[in-house]
């Protein structure tokens, strides 16, 4: 492995980033976002995604799981919930300007990502990265210095994505992808990690102008809110909708007078 | 997954807990404690358990491993040590007021929990939670913000228990438990994590009045102390016993003039 | 498990170490170093190793992986790179005074250590420890309080080595090693963890007098530097060599007027 | 392993069985039947089971899978089908005289038994055998001389049951079952293998007198027949029912003027 | 599972096939062939494939492994051999009239198929079957009554393909393929198993008119014959080529005055 | 893979062997025997081994498991039994003329070989073959045409050894063994499979002259016979010993007036 990186281990990671790229100002780039569940992308980043979509970026959403467990409705079955969640995610993305065909489902069961074959999973995501050759990868933060996440889908998605980012760069990882699929290695230039701790955040996108879109996109996940989460109904009572939007708006993060979304941005993969 | 929780990710975990329940004052509740080895429950919580037993709580101890490795005695075999450890744990629990039939052994070998099938393990513990429907789960702390533990049984037990707490709440996890076993989902209302770091502790139980019981319960694990750990003998030389009790008393944690046991208490599962 | 250790969980780890042994002054001892890749040992510890070799210590290097992925050269194959890396590591060790026959290759593929069978891996390394019965084990730091490392080989090597250190001490772990191989248990008296965070470092070895050796040993890993990493060549253009040595010297850590290597030293295995 | 058995390897298996026990004449014995799916027990053995139930035998049915895949109905979900199959199996058993509480579901998904953790599966079934201490184990034939079955649930169930029969006999397999659960080893005296090839069959039970019960028990699996298998309905059109019973009767095996069920009976586990 | 099939277990498999379809006379059908290695398809079936191609059938070849081990040349590396084998297979297929884009590589390493994750492998092949919806699946024979093959790639490929054929038929296997990928279940109407034992063969295709094509297609696998297998060369010495063709012609199977290829044809999946 | 072999699939295996080597007449060769348990080598082959030892052959015995389960003595523990079995095997081998240091224990638990990591196991045995470069490999018969063995250690040992024989021949399997260990590939010239079915046996060694040695070697496995198997004692009552020897002699296979041991001999690995 490269010596430069190895030596840098001894210095604080923060020093590495001279000038973080301005995520929300990108135009006509390829953005590849990996999310554990269909809604983590909305809650973390809907505002940023709406801005990126407006600027003509090509956004692809890769969703690790089918989210087929999160209902208290005793009549719900997993297969039916998976279908509901698929539609809700498509609705949410459409609001943000991301077409349905740009959503890619890896189809693992909710809560079961940790039990997937880890090597196969890295290989699969490496192939996606080499296929789309993204200018930015957005993904759940594995933690800057230690292993985060007790929720297993989050931990596995976070770790797996960075493993794949590293593998994608070197053609000797999964060489069949070059030989049989014609895919060349790809070095991801920028990672924007979401769901960051306060201590790790180093970049904030002001989303005031698209806050309404974010609230609508969040509300598209009807089945995940009261009352639908306890007794499924596919639509909102207008009163409930107004209430939940108000609630969500109240919980939004503010910084310097703006509603923001937080990220940890890195310009190269942390080889630690 | 529920949006409320997802949004809360962005706020410090500490803010969530308006008023931690007073663990040691509970009465006639069901307490389910998960421990990696037979003695971790004693060292972490014997005082609290003695108080809970006095108050008529129904305490169940689930022990992940059979502790069949921890002896330097060259004549010891693993199978014999497992039998010794079983008896010592039963003795220790009896001192605290917990009957033998409330001890449940998951029967993994000491040091081998990490190598168990993780999905089967979550399923098994989920079933236990849905069976006993505890008011409080006591378990080894997985860490509040990052993955702790280098000792693998500790790491696996910590992670597995919280995975199972999450799964137990949603009927679509392991639905056979509802269909074939008649077990309904169960949302654990309070977790009391033990073996916490100083930084993570947020609750302390004063155990002055039961300290003697704790010392006796600890001393019941004869095989784990000198001299029995090097040359097994099932009983104490009175001089050794006095000495070890004095030693243990000296190492006990003090806070505000009391001997205490430390916990991190949370009122709902940390969905991170 | 031993009660003493369990109770100590409640105290800061730092208090445990009354007087760290002076690593660089050891003489005629057995040093066993575990490294994820052939070069991590060089970058972390070449100066310390050179000093230890001068003092007549018997140094064994155990390398988890064959480092067969780290080249951007499109003509490179993994098998050829593995052969190159083997020679480079042997050259590097020779410069430091460590003979080729003291290098032991566990032969996992680069980046694939995480996917090895973890129980077999612990058993294998336990056997190595019981065979060499080292006075000091040097290994990559798993982190003092939490699980570190996102690079999977680093995480796996760190965790596996401490698991094996713990197992090596108790004869009931892998008892066939005693019965069939005649290997007695061994308690490692000192661990020197390398690649430590600034916060965790508690010992520094001044390497001024052997800095030249370290730079030469680092430069022996030709394939891992520009330009060889992009278009393989087995030797240095003198200009490039001078430049890289200057660069490496500039990145070296300084403390109290010395060029140093940092460690976290512990005198017994952290049973957490 | 026992030498007697090992030497017997060299002789034809057929010689071993001096006088096969008369299965259908047993009274007040414990019969433990292992079936891959809920209906294999019916198709193979319903007549024999009805006779055994009449004679006061205590019959327990252990079902490896929940049979949640076998429907062409496009509206069906796996979870709903599992519930249907549970009810159908209970109905079928009631017809034969086996109470619902004697049916034990191992809860694997249909078609997925092959992918279960094999060691855990053997341990689980060994525990069942040691708990019920059966006089006869009835199970799907693994083949007398070679490994049979391309349908993976059949292969896995066949192999796993005989592995467990062997393990149950020796207390050193899964010794925790003796220590922690108080279960003693158990040597199964007779195995009756069903779904045998014509070549391997060595015993036939005449079921003429209970053929009606068998046809009714088979027809209780409504969802597995036309038309319910394509468009689920929970009951029979009388015309369809008559037709299927006639069809099944026509396919029944005849031997020496009787309708029979075929078995391969062995009086000790084939240690090959 | 379907009762009809279950009952049929008791009858000889041979009775099931009233009139085997005439494989070589098919026109404009979709043929999906699964082969363990790139050349098994040639040796088993090149003549039949040539005839099928002439008749306008749409032939897809799915190759489980990349065949990167089969060379005695000490200078060969696995990655180079994989590239050679890919080209050779493409050459071989071109001779038979199958275009390069119809060759699909599953990319497992030679000899390592047995160690793939079996559930993922079934899922992957099920998806292929549901995508192409073949009129005929050609695949290596798993054996009619027992598990064949000691060579692990052959055993795994044989077993996996029939597992996938079964799974493809039922929409409740891998339901994400319907939900997320829009793939409907598919019941394979005819299987033609190759590499059959003499006892199991039930169909023979006369290939006299395309024998030359078969010999040329076989000879396209230059690296697998002397002298290239010992010292790689990409082309034939004309003398060697003539000699090998003569040898292969001499080994061809004859039946009733024709050169033939042997198959075991079944019109539905053997649910055993 | 080699075309010659592939084509030969179509012919009966029996035709391949022009003239089987005369096993018992070999001199000064290297014989490598793989046995599932310590005693299978005795029961199958003690006479042949005694003859081979007399003729100055270098015999190595590789034992997959430690045989730590086969006792009905309720006081026995697995670890104690493993030690007993080791001594008994050493005694048995000494009687046959095979020194203790030529016995190699792979150290798997009895009955657990099936659950070992199969790829690691093949790699390990491949290394042994490449190290000893045997003229003959003796191993348990996997079956000539189908997969045999229901006893899992037997099945796994049989399959694994032939997988390793195949891998050993090609340097691209486990290339680190060549690079890091200096081991060249090795093509095993002759396999002698033991524990064969009557149908598969194709070679018989007359052992009349060493039958006494065989009986004594068998009797050295004291713990595996009555009465020691029920209540362990390390030695024989002379009466019991006489009785068991008589019994064993009576069970010995006879052919053409000789006491024989049966084998299936093959001169190259069956690539099926």
Q: Residue B4: is its pLDDT beyond 50?
A: no
Per residue in C203-259, pLDDT (tens digit) is: 999 999 999 999 999 999 999 999 999 999 999 999 999 999 999 999 999 999 999
Please say whether the beta carbons of F144 and F163 come within 8 A: no
Task: State whether residue D118 sits within 8 Å of chain E by CB.
Answer: no
Chain B residue numbers touching A37 (CB-CB < 8 A): 1
- Measured CA distances, D82 to A176, A233, D70 (Å): 41, 25, 10
d(CA B85, CA B83): 5
Q: If you average pLDDT over every residue of chain A, what do you get?
A: 91
Written as one string, the DSSP assignment of D107-161 is: EEPTT-GGGS-HHHHHHHHHHHHHHH--SEEEEE---SSB-B-SSHHHHHHHHHH
Residue F2: pLDDT band (50, 70, 90) is very low
Cα–Cα distance for residue pair E134/E185, rounded to 1 Å: 12
Between β-strands A190-194 and A136-140, what pairing exists: parallel, antiparallel or unpaired?
parallel
Give CA F254 to chain center in angstroms.
Answer: 21
Question: Which positions in chain D touch A80 (Cβ < 8 Å)?
Answer: 77
> What ipTM score was computed for the predicted complex, to two decimals?
0.90
Which pLDDT band, with edges at 50, 70 and 90, does F267 fall under?
A: confident
pLDDT bucket at F269, cuts 50 / 70 / 90: low
Tell me the shortest Cα–Cα distance from E75 to chain C, in angstroms: 10
Smallest CA–CA distance from B80 into chain F, residue: F77
Where does the pLDDT of residue E143 fall: very low under 50, low under 70, confident under 90, or very high at 90 and above?
A: confident
Residues A136, A29: contact at Cβ < 8 Å?
Answer: yes
Contact predicate D67/D81, CB 8 Å: yes
Would you say B81 and C172 are in contact if contact means Cβ atoms under 8 Å apart? yes
Choose, out of F71, F73, F74, F79, the residue to mutate when testing the contact with B (most B CBs < 10 Å): F79
Return the residue of A nearest to E123 by Cα: A107
Query: Under a CB-based contact definition with an 8 Å cutoff, are residues B264 and B193 in contact?
Result: yes
pLDDT bin (cut points 50, 70, 90) of residue C14 is very low
Split at pLDDT 50, 70, 90, the class of F15 is very low
pLDDT band at A150 (very low <50, low <70, confident <90, very high): confident
Q: What is the mean pLDDT of residues B60-71?
A: 97
Task: Give the model confidence (pLDDT) of B41-60 as tens digits.
Answer: 999 999 999 999 999 999 99
**Residues with Cβ within 8 Å of residue E112, at least 6 apart in sequence:** E65, E153, F119
Query: Model confidence at B148, in pLDDT bands (50, 70, 90)?
Result: confident
Q: Does A119 have pLDDT greater than 70? A: yes
Of E66, E86, E180, the CB nearest to A86: E180
Overall pTM > 0.80: yes
Tokens 């089987």, located at residue? F20
- pLDDT, position F19: 66
Contact C68, F180 (CB under 8 A): no
pLDDT at E10: 37
Contacts 24+ apart (CB under 8 A), E161-164: E161/E34, E161/E125, E161/E137, E162/D150, E162/E191, E162/E269, E162/E270, E163/D114, E163/D152, E163/E122, E163/E125, E164/E122, E164/E125, E164/E126, E164/E128, E164/E129
B78 contacts F80? CB cut-off 8 A:
no
Q: Chain B 12-31, CB below 8 Å of chain C: which residues?
A: none
pLDDT of res. F11: 36
- Token digits of residue B252: 């006990």
Closest chain E residue to the Cα of A86, Cα to Cα: E180
pLDDT given for residue B1 in this prediction: 38
pLDDT digits (tens, 9 = 90+) for D75-112: 999 999 999 999 999 999 999 999 999 999 999 999 99
Q: What is the mean pLDDT of residues C103-121?
A: 95
Per-residue burial over B247-256, b if 16 or more Cβ lie within 10 Å, else e, is ebeeebbeee
Positive or negative, the CA dihedral B241, B242, B245, B250 is negative
SS3 B113: helix
pLDDT tens-digit profile of E182-206?
A: 999 999 999 999 999 998 999 999 9
pLDDT of F101-135, one tens digit each?
Answer: 999 999 999 999 999 999 999 999 999 999 999 99
Nearest CA in chain C to B65: C1
Supply the pLDDT for residue A145. 77
Taking alpha carbons only, the member of E100, E56, E88, E103 closest to residue E216 is E88
Model confidence band, residue F144 (pLDDT cutoffs 50, 70, 90):
confident
**pLDDT for res E145:** 77
Give the residue-averaged pLDDT of B68-87: 97
The stretch F131-150 carries a mean pLDDT of 90
- Contact flag for C and D (3+ C-beta pairs < 8 Å): no
CA dist F54 and F59 (Å) reads 11
Backbone dihedral angles phi then psi of residue C31, each to the nearest 5 degrees: -115, 125
- Measured in angstroms, the CA of C271 and the nearest CA of chain B are apart by 6
Q: Which residues of chain D have pLDDT under 70?
A: 1-20, 268-272
pLDDT of residue E21: 75
Inter-chain contact B147–A146, Cβ cutoff 8 Å?
A: yes
pLDDT of residue F271: 56
* B79 interfaces chain F, CB cutoff of 8 Å: yes
- Contact check, Cβ <8 Å, F218/D3: yes
Does the pLDDT value for residue E47 go beyond 50?
A: yes
Return the higher-pLDDT residue of F33 and A151.
F33
Confidence of residue A250 (pLDDT cuts 50, 70, 90): very high
d(CA F168, CA F191): 14
- Check pLDDT > 90 for residue C58: yes
* E78 vs E84: CA distance, rounded Å: 10
Whether the predicted pLDDT of B116 surpasses 50: yes
Give tens-digit pLDDT for B164-194: 999 999 999 999 999 999 999 999 999 999 9
**Minimum-distance CB partner of D180 among B105, B117, B177:** B105
Query: Does the CB of F89 have a partner CB in chain D at under 8 Å?
Result: no
Chain F, 148-177: which have a CB under 8 Å from a chain E CB? 159, 162-163, 166-167, 170-173, 175
* Predicted pLDDT at A148: 79
Residues of chain C above pLDDT 90, percent? 85
The SS3 of residue E231 is coil
pLDDT, position A11: 36
For chain F, give the mean pLDDT.
91
Q: Check residue C192 and give its pLDDT.
A: 97
pLDDT surpasses 70 at F84: yes
Is the CB of residue C80 less than 8 Å away from at least one CB of chain E?
Answer: yes
Q: How far apart are CA D75 and CA B80, in angstroms?
A: 56
Q: Is D7 on the interface with F (CB under 8 A)?
A: yes
Tell me if chain B has a CB within 8 Å of the CB of D79. Answer: yes
Amino acid B15: pLDDT: 38
- pLDDT at E269 (0 to 100): 56
| C82, C120, C179 member nearest F82 (Cβ) | C179
């Amino acid at each position: 492995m490269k010596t430069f990186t190895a030596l840098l281990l001894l210095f604080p990671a923060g020093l590495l980033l001279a000038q973080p790229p301005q995520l929300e100002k990108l135009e006509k780039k390829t953005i590849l976002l990996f999310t554990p569940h269909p809604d983590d992308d909305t809650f973390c980043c809907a505002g940023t995604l709406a801005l990126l979509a407006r600027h003509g970026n090509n956004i692809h959403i890769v969703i690790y799981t089918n989210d087929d467990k999160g209902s208290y409705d005793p009549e719900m079955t997993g297969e039916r919930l998976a279908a509901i969640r698929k539609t809700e995610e498509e609705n949410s993305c459409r609001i943000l300007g991301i077409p349905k065909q740009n959503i890619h489902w890896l189809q693992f069961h909710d809560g079961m990502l940790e039990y997937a074959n880890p090597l196969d999973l890295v290989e699969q995501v490496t192939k996606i990265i080499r296929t789309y050759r993204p200018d930015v990868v957005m993904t759940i933060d594995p933690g800057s210095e230690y292993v985060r996440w007790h929720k297993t889908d989050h931990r596995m998605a976070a770790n797996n994505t960075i493993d794949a980012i590293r593998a994608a760069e070197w053609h000797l990882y999964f060489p069949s992808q070059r030989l049989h699929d014609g895919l060349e290695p790809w070095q991801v230039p920028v990672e924007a990690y979401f769901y960051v701790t306060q201590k790790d955040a180093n970049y904030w996108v002001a989303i005031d102008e698209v806050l309404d879109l974010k609230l609508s996109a969040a509300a598209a996940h009807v089945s995940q809110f009261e009352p639908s989460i306890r007794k499924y109904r596919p639509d909102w009572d207008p009163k409930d909708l107004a209430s939940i939007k108000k609630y969500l708006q109240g919980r939004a993060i503010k910084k310097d007078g703006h509603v923001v979304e937080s990220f940890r941005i890195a310009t190269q993969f942390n080889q630690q």
